Chains A and B, each alone.
Chain A
């Protein structure tokens, strides 16, 4: 019985976290974009507009559920749930701190990638179910883009997995810090097992993973449908893409999924390339900074900080770069990112055989 209680508690905590993070990200995105454009952003609700996101969500909760009369009711109602649940389930396998992981799956990364692909189906359901040409166009673009960009993203992640030799996200994290049971080398030469910190992260264990991380980061932007890869929702062409017809709480769920997805893909990148919950501070002689800052509390702090920074970069890029054209998007994926990702994978194999 307690067993199930824990499950429910963990699931509730994760849901609460995604909801709170969405509110926070919503507010910070509006503020960051405003500052970049020399505006102030929301200022009226609460001190410096800090309650604006809550006001928005309150407004959405009160809105009517509108189902277009020509829509496919079953698909239309189910789509936001499928979209959100597929992202939400991805959180199940992510480690938050040493020994703290909702589920320490052996096939963690594989599972996350498989369950994230389900979002594509949800988006297609939303687009088709809306019976609206803009929604359908948006969802078709989205599906084409997400399926394409999963390939470079997946291959780039595999090249990190080849260095770590495990799909288990918790073990990947352990192998990038002072808790590692194997010896780890900085750039393949310097044994940093007792030192830990930033030099033990995967991108510094094998420097070609920096390129792999860049590939993964770019592909992850495309997977969350964010600028400069936001052609599925291209406001100037498709109104809002696949979620044109959604209103109220259903729209809120689509929104929740988008921001949770940002956090999720950011966190996957952080765990596989940037040391996960490991501290960036190394042990220097008597100052055992890494040992002091590797606990459950610090672990949660580090992984949150790192992921927030990645999300901030995602927001920064969104408000800087213009949207890519469809053909540019596809040729960039297939002609640049995919070959580079394969090259990274090859490098990982060579690195594993020769340097480790």
Chain B
């Protein structure tokens, strides 16, 4: 009985002592340091709150947050759209009549991206698209705080072509196709003769 009673007082005193120590330690607050910092785990006392909009935890440049596409490097291969588990990437490609140019790693670009939309509201941040991309043009960035007023604004449009340009390219392709078809028909007719 006496041991139990002593235990009661002892534990109550320990608990009260602990909260009191933290109460007085709250006069100081811990500095906002990135996880890369050597002293990150060295700060033991003080309040830990990061007052978010005013203070931000520094992030590594290549975070795993929102997606970004470097259109100059994109060969519009559609791999990212195919692997996406939630189908948040929509790509519409137009075949070019000749090679358009080269990406920074030397791959030849042969397709125009008339549409390259990523619906960030659907994205689940798995990062599969960044893995399959052959030219590493689709990457995840350190941007995580982007709120919009309408759901529509969550669809990020990366295509750098205007509708008119896309239409022109489409016409060019149709014209080329028609020419080829005509050439083919002419060739087969001359064969028959």
Chain A residues with CB under 8 Å of chain B are 32, 34-40, 43, 316-317, 319-321
Cβ contact within 8 Å between B12 and A39: no
With a cutoff of 8 Å between Cβ atoms, the chain A residues found around residue B100 in the complex are none
Known: A40-B47, A316-B19. A35 touches B26 (CB 8 A): yes
Instruction: Report the count of interface residues on B (CB-CB < 8 A).
Output: 16
With a cutoff of 8 Å between Cβ atoms, the chain A residues found around residue B47 in the complex are 34-35, 38-40
What does DSSP make chain B's interface, helix, strand, loop or mixed? helix
What does DSSP make chain A's interface, helix, strand, loop or mixed? loop
Cβ contact within 8 Å between B49 and A319: no
With a cutoff of 8 Å between Cβ atoms, the chain B residues found around residue A317 in the complex are 16
With a cutoff of 8 Å between Cβ atoms, the chain B residues found around residue A321 in the complex are 12, 15
Chain B residues with CB under 8 Å of chain A are 12, 15-16, 18-20, 22-23, 25-26, 29, 46-49, 51
Assembly CA distance A43 to B26 (angstroms): 14
Offer 22 A-B interface pairs, CB within 8 angstroms, sorted by A: A32-B23, A34-B47, A35-B23, A35-B26, A35-B47, A36-B22, A36-B23, A37-B22, A38-B46, A38-B47, A38-B48, A38-B49, A39-B48, A40-B29, A43-B51, A316-B16, A316-B19, A316-B23, A317-B16, A320-B18, A320-B19, A321-B12
With a cutoff of 8 Å between Cβ atoms, the chain A residues found around residue B19 in the complex are 36, 316, 319-320
Cβ contact within 8 Å between A316 and B22: no
Give min CB distance, B20 to chain A, whole Å.
Answer: 7
Taking A40-B29, A316-B16 as known contacts, 5 extra A-B pairs with beta carbons closer than 8 A to each other, sorted by chain A number, are: A37-B22, A38-B48, A40-B47, A320-B15, A320-B18
Cβ contact within 8 Å between B29 and A320: no
Assembly CA distance A217 to B63 (angstroms): 54
Give min CB distance, B5 to chain A, whole Å.
Answer: 9
Cβ contact within 8 Å between B49 and A40: yes
Cβ contact within 8 Å between B16 and A39: no
